[in-house]
Structure 1
Amino acid sequence: MRFETLAVHAGGESDPATGALSPPIHLATTFKHGPAAERLDGYEYQREGNPTNDRLCAALAALEHGQSALTFASGMAAISGLLESLNPGSHIVIPDDCYTGLRILAGEFLPDRGVRVSTIDVTDIDALRQACNGGIDLVWVETPSNPRMKITDIRAVAEISHAHGGRVVCDNTFASPALQRPLDLGADIVMHSTTKYFGGHSDVLGGALIFKEAGEWFEQAAHRLHITGATLAPFSAWLTLRGCRSLPARMNMHCSNARAIAEFLDKHSSIERVNYPGLPSHPGHAVAASQMSDFGGMLSIELRGGKSAALAMAGKLKLFTNATSLGGCESLIEHRASVEGENPTSTENLLRISVGLEHHEDLIADLVQALD
């Protein structure tokens, strides 16, 4: 079954009780059970599972070609739910360019649990081999990365990590399964901030882990989710399931618009660098072309003139909204160093752009007036 068809139908079976085509929302926090706590219909308490969430888990697993999925109240809840299930003494590798929340979790919280973290350029395969010497438990991949849009060869990382006894987790938020399926490329687990392209409308928070195999680590993560309570609410699950249906169509337009904008900005004299893997000049272009069906709706730019030039441009835009997050219908822009807080890793002249679903000529006209 092709992806577009699967996206519409996965988790979207008609309601057996009413025949409704739109999946019902089960808001119940508790379910009837027997006198000895027998689960008469498979459910007991919302934190342990509910029918709407189960539909979403089934859809996400199908779309990522995984065996099982877990959903969480946010992307960070999914990241921490997985990484904090590591045993003390574990050694993990994370990318030097990655989501700020992951960087802070790895720097401030995981060491307290006895987890050793190596931060490297994961796109440098020789550096990865060196980091894995002596054994590795987990390699975290984020491709395309946030916000410099680095591209990591998932196949190569999986081969090295597995050879040293480790597993591979891939943050697939920027690409979504519409463009890239890491489990098919050798990764063991995929992480998503479902807030972004799965939700698609900037109105629902969530996160997910999709497992290639429902093995021991899945059981550990599921148990931790149950006990710590970072559960996705049924209404949020329903909104995300709705977003799954339109994901392929939206991603086509995100990609088309982003490509047009990247090509325009790449030729503009005020722009020092455009970070977009769809450009042949991007250092990861060939790898991206080998593992992605298109290059996504995210890019970042680095302006000549430093921070003042970046803030001036961002302040003049009218269609692009200065806001964090990504993947919604509207185009967003943000000065990442300002958003990242006290110890930013982004350069002061960098702006991250989430290209939305407006007409690309209107978006380019807005960029023209802000730059000229």
Structure 2
Amino acid sequence: MTSAEDQLEAEATSTPSRNDVGLAFATRAIHHGYDLAGFSNSVQTPVFLTSTYGFESVAANEAAAALGGRLYAREYNPTTEILEKRLANLEGAEAGLVLASGMAAFGTLILSLLSQGDELIVHKTLYSNTLAMVEQGLPQFGIKVVAVDLSNPSNLNGAITDRTRLVFFETPINPLSRILDIAGIAEHAHSRGVKVAVDSTFASPALQRPLELGADIVIHSLTKYINGHGDALGGVILGDAKTLHLLRETGLRYLTGAALSPLSAFLILRGLKTLTLRMARHSASGLAVAQALEAHPAVAWVSYPFLGSHPDHEIARRQMSQGSGMLALGLQTGFEGARRMMDRLKLIIRAVSLGDADSLIYHPASLTRSRKSIRTDAHLPDGVGDDLMRLSVGLEDAADLIADLEQALDGI
């Protein structure tokens, strides 16, 4: 490692002047990485709306370039740096890199670490846009993608080759809310020298920290629970300092250029301050809603990790502190019943995102059918049936959400 890389790693792992060693997660979510004295004693993090930086001399400019390009806002911004340090601390990572969206995070990760001839193993079910990228985008770069059922970690044994560079999966899985065993998958992958990356968006670091379970890299769509207010896009990659330096210097600097705006970083830092409280409320309401739906005669099935009926309940309890606010369900009346029920909702909003204060619901099969008019190859992810609806339980009173769902179900 060069001296410049040594300096970057030291900065990534250093303790800020505010000493928060030993402080709890909720406290660090508010304070870590920010020293008021360094920013005119502003209690709130300033937003640095600048595209470039000036230097007092040519020598100082050259020194900044040698330490990772602190010259231009795509590569460095004080607001985004605070967010990176705080998220890395909460996830238990050495360093982090924030990007313009969750898909920007996935694209930066894969295009920086894999090249032509390399192989990527993914779980058979993925978020629809991630699925589109691995099916249509990566083959254009000569990267082979191998889909494996990772619900049994031993399935990796027959899938890993000498060209496998990374295993990637989501848990909880979007939109099924199924759970994969992070520790088990990591053990099998590491035995063959392969790194593991986990998309932990559905849980957030408040409920699940994959690095503590053996994963090497974690990504999040910051748009979802970490921001929590539906007003900013963002993504993050978290892991060891050496890998994150590579991702910043290649993926962000010249492969994708997908920099997060400082205003979005500010909004996400604001949302992060209430993450612990919000995830507790999302989880409590999510369980209450799931239990009510499971008891309704019009509902055929409910998938929520902390329901006793969930097939991965034991794993979920082992690696998550609470169940989050995400659930999937299907009705006895299938595709048409889902459409009728959703149209009858009065409080819950029909929308495709998740993790907001507002409760949101969508029907993947309806959207997929409509997309076929412009994309004939559009299809549902593996395991997602025509009846599945994904519900993101928000911060409203759980009784009001249950009442809205019940009146909608009673009318179909």
TM-score of the two chains, using structure 1 as the length reference: 0.96
Equivalent residue for 2:28? 6
C-alpha root-mean-square deviation of aligned residues, in Å? 1.5
1:339 Cα deviation from its structure 2 partner: 3.3
1:303 Cα deviation from its structure 2 partner: 1.1
Select 1:35's aligned residue among 58, 66, 79.
58
1:218 Cα deviation from its structure 2 partner: 2.3
Q: Which moved more, 1:89-98 or 1:70-79?
A: 89-98
- Indicate the SS of the match to 1:84: helix
Counterpart CA distance in 2 for 1:239 and 1:13 is 18
Counterpart check, 1:358 vs 2:402: no
Counterpart check, 1:70 vs 2:97: yes
Give deviations 1:154-210, integer Å, cap 9, x for gaps: 001001111112100000100000000000000000000000011110000000000
Q: Which moved more, 1:131-140 or 1:120-129?
A: 131-140
Aligned length, in residue pairs = 370
Select 1:127's aligned residue among 134, 148, 155.
155
Equivalent residue for 1:287? 315
Equivalent residue for 1:221? 247
Identity percentage over the alignment?
42
Equivalent residue for 2:288? 260
Counterpart CA distance in 2 for 1:317 and 1:129 is 46
Structure 1 unaligned spans of 5+: none
- Indicate the SS of the match to 2:204: coil
1:356 Cα deviation from its structure 2 partner: 0.2
Counterpart CA distance in 1 for 2:34 and 2:327 is 32
1:141 Cα deviation from its structure 2 partner: 1.9
Q: Which moved more, 1:113-122 or 1:64-73?
A: 113-122
Counterpart CA distance in 2 for 1:203 and 1:19 is 27
User: Is 2:122–2:146's contact at 8 Å kept on the other side of the alignment?
Assistant: yes
- Indicate the SS of the match to 1:308: helix
Select 2:385's aligned residue among 347, 359, 364.
347
User: Is 1:276–1:298's contact at 8 Å kept on the other side of the alignment?
Assistant: yes
Select 1:138's aligned residue among 166, 182, 199.
166
Select 2:350's aligned residue among 322, 337, 346.
322
- Indicate the SS of the match to 2:62: coil
User: Is 1:253–1:357's contact at 8 Å kept on the other side of the alignment?
Assistant: yes
1:23 Cα deviation from its structure 2 partner: 0.8
Equivalent residue for 2:11? none
- Indicate the SS of the match to 2:36: coil
Counterpart CA distance in 1 for 2:45 and 2:295 is 47
Counterpart check, 1:166 vs 2:194: yes
User: Is 1:180–1:292's contact at 8 Å kept on the other side of the alignment?
Assistant: yes
Select 2:216's aligned residue among 160, 182, 188.
188
User: Is 1:15–1:24's contact at 8 Å kept on the other side of the alignment?
Assistant: no
1:40 Cα deviation from its structure 2 partner: 6.8
Q: Which amino acid aligns with 1:344?
A: L
- Indicate the SS of the match to 2:280: helix
1:127 Cα deviation from its structure 2 partner: 2.1
1:71 Cα deviation from its structure 2 partner: 0.6
Counterpart check, 1:80 vs 2:107: yes
Equivalent residue for 2:408? 370
- Indicate the SS of the match to 1:226: helix
Counterpart check, 1:52 vs 2:68: no
Counterpart check, 1:147 vs 2:175: yes
User: Is 2:117–2:163's contact at 8 Å kept on the other side of the alignment?
Assistant: no
Q: Which moved more, 1:80-89 or 1:34-43?
A: 34-43
Q: Which amino acid aligns with 2:26?
A: E
Q: Which moved more, 1:75-84 or 1:220-229?
A: 220-229
Counterpart check, 1:273 vs 2:301: yes
1:316 Cα deviation from its structure 2 partner: 0.5
Q: Which moved more, 1:232-241 or 1:342-351?
A: 342-351
1:89 Cα deviation from its structure 2 partner: 1.6
Counterpart CA distance in 2 for 1:219 and 1:48 is 11
Q: Which amino acid aligns with 1:370?
A: A
1:347 Cα deviation from its structure 2 partner: 1.2
TM-score of the two chains, using structure 2 as the length reference: 0.87
User: Is 2:91–2:209's contact at 8 Å kept on the other side of the alignment?
Assistant: yes
Q: Which amino acid aligns with 1:334?
A: Y
Counterpart CA distance in 2 for 1:330 and 1:231 is 27
Q: Which amino acid aligns with 2:306?
A: G
Equivalent residue for 1:61? 88
